[in-house]
Structure 1
């Protein structure tokens, strides 16, 4: 059964009030953060949280991130040592509001559905005027995964949200495109040595300048973080393959959609000719690429071919988060 999804224009002075009223009454509302659009509900209301999972078709073992306006509102959501709280406060002083989610043991009142069967919960204070204003209006944390059907690319515009969730949620707060374009860094503070569970815009190097050593290696699929246990970021009805420049060149005149760097496209156009199949180009700068990636995937999934070649990105530290998302999108 579908419902009418309200589109709330952020330029309307009443939009935030309407979004808050819907959240307060147990409804699900999509709203923009600096990273991607989140699918928000009252994070302390199990019935409201259940609506997130239903709308997304999200597996129940995939935990959610709780969103708050400040570290003061985050601390009551954890039950942990003073040392852990001090570490969280230190990181919040440097990176909040911003794209860093902190994982610590959950307080007893956090609904089981939020933590996906784990004993910890991720919390962050997002940046962005709209997200902050909305969260400051709420007297509860807002549970919010990305506002898309499970497995699809995360949305960076209200139109992306509507593409997969219109008719399934109460409202979309349209605040225009997000600025960062990929999800937050998730940092586990509960382990003996803090560990990044999911890379994002805030790098390991930036975190190390504040708290020192981080545990090496990648988190496994059973780590206490969203986005690790299931397939993600995949365009509909397209097989995404991460390939090198030589494979892009070999496919240039084939009916395969291509997403590559601008310099690659320019070189191949000059030396091989224009291509008839869908082509999108992105800049060879990590943050600019991140901001456009999901929008490019949504655009290409409408283009026709069932196969998409994405040019591999550089294997350097500033590209770690993008590389993570592309690898997950290409996983079979």
Structure 2
């Protein structure tokens, strides 16, 4: 059931549904989330069951902005290190998740049983309206992974979510997601900032905001905390994804010639094919625009029944790091 996220009545109905221990899908600026009361382990178990997600694979907890943010952080996390506080000030609300040390006895299921927990304050107005209404109903935050079956392509519209879970799930429609890929994840639990997942917020922006060098995962001796979206294979459509440079793409199309079938191509380069059966979409030259389109393009190709999706490898620079990460995991 899709409800208009601009409706106060719909927001109130969603908040009551969440307070009762049920699931609600909601929009964020990154992708649509599948939400449950993060403080209710039984409700959170419903997320794992609906997605088919392993219960030890942690979820991100979404928090309300404004005057209640500090209290919400304190509810779920132990005191943040100074560099993490600087990131909160710089990027919340926004597409940044911080992995921090969890308060004992709180949100155990959402944390996947770990001593750390992922926290985010989303910027989408519908998400914030829902979180504020939830707080008024005694729900301090929402555990909210992407609203899709585990390992599949993330949803960026309400109709994507409905296609995954059918009509029984209450879905707040906030329009297409503006960022289009999941949040940047920075681990703040080991004394230094460590990048676990790239996103729209870049390395340079994180370093400038927190005043410290952002470490790569390989630089820190202790094991990474488990975090959302960091499995090698993830974000995968039904069709097989393959990354190639423009020259390799053109060579492959030339070899197949007029016989090419069931193939979709997403590229920045202008490519030629003798086949009239190749589906082609133009990848934007701008990284942010490509990120916004990425999951919708993969879903559209799947819907048209292709067996192979050939994608031109994104440029090797920090602006494209989030797009490159998602495509590499889709191809894995």
Check if 1:282 corresponds to 2:273: no
The 2-side partners of 1:300 and 1:182 are apart by: 17
Partner of 1:174: 173
The structure 2 residue matched to 1:233, chosen from 232, 235, 238, is 235
Q: CA-to-partner distance for each residue in 1:268-304, whole Å, 9 max, x for gaps?
A: 24xx556422222221110000000000000001222
Shift of 1:231: 2.5
Q: CA-to-partner distance for each residue in 1:237-279, whole Å, 9 max, x for gaps?
A: x1111111123213334225233334x23xx24xx55642222
Shift of 1:123: 0.4
Shift of 1:175: 1.1
- The answer to whether the 8 A contact 1:63-1:224 is kept is yes
Other structure's SS at 2:295 match:
helix
Q: How does 1:125-144 map to 2 (within 5 A)?
A: 125-139=121-135, 140-144=140-144
The 1-side partners of 2:225 and 2:41 are apart by: 23
Q: How does 1:139-288 map to 2 (within 5 A)?
A: 139=135, 140-167=140-167, 170-218=169-217, 222-229=224-231, 231-236=233-238, 238-252=239-253, 253=257, 254-262=260-268, 264-265=269-270, 268-269=271-272, 272=273, 275-288=276-289
Other structure's SS at 2:109 match:
helix
Partner of 1:3: none
Other structure's SS at 1:246 match:
helix
Q: CA-to-partner distance for each residue in 1:158-186, whole Å, 9 max, x for gaps?
A: 1111111125x531111110100000011
Shift of 1:223: 3.3
Partner of 2:7: 12
The 2-side partners of 1:50 and 1:115 are apart by: 11
The 1-side partners of 2:232 and 2:267 are apart by: 28
The 2-side partners of 1:328 and 1:15 are apart by: 35
Taking structure 1 as the reference length, the TM-score comes to 0.90
Check if 1:74 corresponds to 2:73: yes
Structure 1 stretches of at least 4 aligned residues deviating more than 4 Å after TM superposition: 219-222
The 2-side partners of 1:260 and 1:307 are apart by: 11
Q: CA-to-partner distance for each residue in 1:188-239, whole Å, 9 max, x for gaps?
A: 1111321111111111100111212234324699533111136211112x11
Q: How many residues align?
A: 316
The 2-side partners of 1:10 and 1:196 are apart by: 33
- The answer to whether the 8 A contact 2:38-2:143 is kept is yes
The 2-side partners of 1:212 and 1:182 are apart by: 26
Root-mean-square deviation (Å): 1.9
The 2-side partners of 1:182 and 1:229 are apart by: 15
Other structure's SS at 2:266 match:
strand
Other structure's SS at 1:255 match:
coil
Partner of 1:23: 18
Q: Which runs of 5+ in 2 are unaligned?
A: none
The 2-side partners of 1:48 and 1:25 are apart by: 9
